[in-house]
Chain A
Amino acid sequence: MRRLLLTMAVLGGLGLAGAGAVVGLGLYNVSAQVGHLPGVSWVLHTTFRNSVRLRAPSMEDAPDLSDSDLIALGAGHYATACAMCHGTPATPRSATAQAMVPEPPAIAEAVEHWQPNELHWIVENGVKMTGMPAWPATGRGDEVWAVVAWLLAVQQNRAPVPPVDTSGADYCRTCHESPGGPVPRLDILAPAYIAAQLELYRTGSRPSGIMAQAASVVPRESFADLAAELGAKAADVAPDLPLTGEGAELASRGTRKVPACLSCHGDDRSKGPRLAGQPSPYLATQLRLWRDGTYTHDRLMVAAARDLSDADIEALSRYFGAQGE
């Protein structure tokens, strides 16, 4: 018995010493040119596949993934965030990207054999030690569906080609030109407000993977100019909102739990951005993010949205959304 224990202790000590030598003396060759030892790639890849399958979320919260607004949004994000490694259906991967270990598969090949919920998990979480990054904002699984929608379109060979020019206002217009669904209109927002939001996106105070990416690829100095070009012109005066329809009472008066939205989001003198005319799905998503505590960058909105019910959110986003039609 004592001999057995002694043998095990000696073997354990030798093992630790060996591991220490590999780490401390740099004995393991990390060269990507050399690649993995035989069998290691298979172990890693199989682990990856099974790990994703085990953890993929249910499709319960998924929006309509065939929505063209959503697909366009995914394409816009893919252009600057993903295409550099995975290429696009129209452009091959760069030689450098192909030299990575593991090699990032070309997008058409990458999306094969995955279900939508599995793609969502991969895009949101990233994959350790592969170079595949996680979504650059936490709590924004809702945004990830846009990329998934575009990836499904790739699977079906009908994906719109992502924009090539990713500088200046044209890049913004990729998604904001024909706003709808989850994308807000900019032409009714005050330039100062837009510039402030870009800064919040850039620092991550207002969490959004898509807008954090966008605000990180356009120069910070150009925020004010972009906002002035895309935002509301001084001559535009917000029309008075008709006080009818579902949600009107809630917006103008509030309840004992919900403050009146229009006190801050009413006319041009108001503190908050104009909401009338924004797409309903965008407003509903933003209100949920406020209520559920994902957004914390404005204390007034945190307090205002705290007690919104799902029905309140539905009514309000319909009310403000209907003003644009």
Chain B
Amino acid sequence: MAVKNFGQGTRCRPSRRHIGTLVSLLSVAGCGLHQSALNPAGRDATSISTLFWVMLAGAVVLWLLVNGAFFYMSRVRPGQFDQRYARHILIGGGIVLPVVVLTTLLVWGLSILPDPRRPGDGLVVRITGEQWWWRVEYWPEGAEDPILSANELRLPAGERTEIRLTSARVIHSFWVPALGGKMDMFPGRETMISLAPEKPGSYRGQCAEFCGASHAWMAFSAVVMDPGAFDTWLAAEAADATPPQDEAAVRGADLFLSEGCGACHTIRGTDAAGLVGPDLTHVGSRQTIGAGRLPATLDDIRLWLDHTEALKPEVKMPTYDLSPTELDDLAQYLEGLK
């Protein structure tokens, strides 16, 4: 849509081209509301957004002042100024005004900037960046073992959660623009960002540091839930997988084990206990598969199994050589893992 507008614009008269450009920019902004720092859904993102708008307004005012002065001196009142008057303008406008304005902005900006190391209210989520997906562990307060998940982050609204970040091999960066700032993830080191989401809904997170061939496909959903709903969800996430019921799914479960999927993936409650790839215990309840690559629908899971390496270049998971029926069964099983 946006590209089309730009294309048409170049053939139009200048005034219409500008309108076209403006429309395109607005439509681009409109597309990404669930991954936009301008659409804050949490306290930290709100601070960042406020900071942005104030800075933008200030920049516009300063731009008008500077250009106004320039216009006044070159067009309205050209010619020489009195030396004392000129000196006052230079010292006042060139030194005093910037020092006062910048200092005020700096002090105010630092005061509202979210502190990524602010302690949380209890829940800790540990996320490890892998190539190219997210290993997610929920540590409720006092927990001895984590609740394992992957490629989706669920957070209770109105609470501050500590997100502790690290990486397996290369540098990644954790960023959910609608919830807060971004934080790099380093191998062998733990960084932290605490987030206090407020508006329930689904937002998009994205790796923000180039990390290899499929960097652009390393995304996830950040789902903010009412605290009650979150607790129910977390209890369900901690449980073992429900055994498959219908025939196709039962065949799919057998296939999952006989094809060796369990070498890399864990489905708790079955023999599959591998640690290399994402935990799939409740993969069917997630919004996306392949770390934000496709929606978690039956058709897309099947597509993923059939074309893994084409959908995600250089992914570690090999594309398996499965018959159409086998693909159906396996997709049925995985989609049913709610």
Residues of A within 8 A of B (CB): 252-261, 263-264, 269-272, 299-300, 303-304
Contacts and interface: CB of A to CB of B under 8 A. Distances in A.
B318 interface: yes
Interface in B160-181: 168
Contacts of B260: 259, 263-264, 270-272, 300
Given A259-B263, A261-B263, A270 B258 contact: yes
Contacts of B258: 269-271
Given A253-B275, A257-B276, A263 B257 contact: yes
B185 to A, nearest CB: 15
Given A259-B274, A260-B273, A299-B318, 6 more contacts: A252-B273, A255-B275, A259-B260, A260-B262, A263-B272, A264-B260
Contacts of B275: 253-256, 260
23 contacts: A254-B263, A254-B264, A254-B274, A254-B276, A256-B168, A256-B275, A259-B264, A259-B274, A259-B276, A260-B262, A260-B263, A260-B273, A260-B274, A263-B262, A263-B272, A263-B274, A269-B257, A269-B258, A271-B258, A299-B318, A300-B260, A303-B316, A304-B263
Contacts of B273: 252-253, 260
B190 interface: no
A253 B276 CA distance: 10
A261 B263 CA distance: 7
Contacts of B274: 253-254, 259-260, 263
A258 B318 CA distance: 14
Nearest to B169: A257
Interface in B259-282: 259-264, 271-276
Interface in B272-306: 272-276
Contacts of A256: 168, 275-276
A159 B149 CA distance: 61
Nearest to A256: B275
Interface secondary structure of B, over-half rule: loop
A269 B273 CA distance: 17
> What class of interface size applies to chain B in its complex with A?
10 to 19
List the 4 closest pairs (A to B, CB-CB), nearest first: A263-B263, A259-B263, A264-B260, A263-B262
A300 B275 CA distance: 16
Contacts of A304: 263
B127 to A, nearest CB: 14
B317 to A, nearest CB: 8
A300 to B, nearest CB: 6
B169 to A, nearest CB: 9
A316 B293 CA distance: 35
B302 to A, nearest CB: 20
B263 A264 contact: yes
Interface string B96-107: 000000000000
Contacts of B318: 299-300, 303
B24 to A, nearest CB: 43
Contacts of A303: 316, 318
A281 B234 CA distance: 47
Looking at B273, B276, B316, the one whose CB has the most chain A CB atoms below 10 A away is B276
Interface in B75-129: none
A191 B261 CA distance: 24
Contacts of B276: 254-259
A271 B274 CA distance: 16
Nearest to B254: A269
A259 B276 CA distance: 6
Contacts of B272: 263
A263 B275 CA distance: 12
Contacts of A259: 260, 263-264, 274, 276
A197 to B, nearest CB: 18
Looking at A259, A299, A303, the one whose CB has the most chain B CB atoms below 10 A away is A259
Interface string B306-321: 0000000000101000
Contacts of A260: 262-264, 273-275
Nearest to B272: A263
Looking at A263, A270, A271, A303, the one whose CB has the most chain B CB atoms below 10 A away is A263
B94 to A, nearest CB: 58
A258 B260 CA distance: 13
Nearest to B271: A263
A270 B262 CA distance: 11
A79 B260 CA distance: 40
A263 B261 contact: yes
Contacts of A258: 276
Contacts of B316: 303
Contacts of B264: 254, 259-260, 263
B9 to A, nearest CB: 48
A263 B258 CA distance: 8
Contacts of A254: 263-264, 274-276
A264 B262 CA distance: 9
A64 B316 CA distance: 37
A163 B272 CA distance: 47
B278 to A, nearest CB: 11
A271 B257 CA distance: 10
Contacts of B263: 254, 259-261, 263-264, 304
Nearest to A304: B263
Nearest to A269: B258
Nearest to A257: B276
A312 to B, nearest CB: 13
Contacts of A253: 273-275
Looking at B257, B262, B271, the one whose CB has the most chain A CB atoms below 10 A away is B262
A257 B260 CA distance: 16
A303 B316 CA distance: 7
